[in-house]
Amino acid sequence: MNEYITKLENGAYRIADTRVSLDSVVYAYKRGELAEAIVQSFPALTLAQVHGAIAFYLSNREMIDQYLRQGEIEYEKMRQQQRSKNSEFYARFEKMREKMKLKT
């Protein structure tokens, strides 16, 4: 990839020599967080790594946005599977949430 980004065998992108995902930095950047704030959120990263990750994203925006969309689709699919496996639990949880809303 480049000196700041590595791509794992499973297709995931990481900040080089860390366990921090590129996803985490990109989502923070898209929320408007400054590079310095991202470093505070991820102390394992240096400012240069964050700037390098953002530069990589901006240079490969279409590819990384597609990668992020695919991750969101997979996450939603897994979430729905869990909800259907544990439907009774989620029904009780929703009832409790509704009760809490009524109290406030």
The number of domains in the chain is 1
Query: Is the CB of residue 49 less than 8 Å from the CB of residue 18?
Result: yes
Residue 103 lies in a domain: no
In a domain, 13, yes or no: yes
Domain assignment present for residue 2? The answer is yes
pTM: 0.78
The answer to the question of residue 94 being in a domain is: no
CATH code, domain with 35: 1.10.10.10
Q: Please provide residue 59's backbone torsions phi and psi, each rounded to the nearest 5 degrees.
A: -80, -20
Whole-angstrom distance, CA of residue 101 vs CA of residue 70: 33
Using CB atoms within 10 Å of the CB of residue 16, give its burial: 0 to 12 exposed, 13 to 18 middle, 19+ buried: middle
Q: For residue 33, give its domain range.
A: 1-59
Query: Over its length of 104 residues, how does the chain's per-residue pLDDT go in tens digits?
Result: 689 999 999 999 999 999 999 999 999 999 999 999 999 999 999 999 999 999 999 999 999 999 999 999 999 999 899 888 888 888 888 889 888 888 76
Q: Which residues contact 21 (CB under 8 A, 6 or more apart)?
A: 12, 13, 14, 15
On whether residue 25 sits in a domain, the answer given is yes
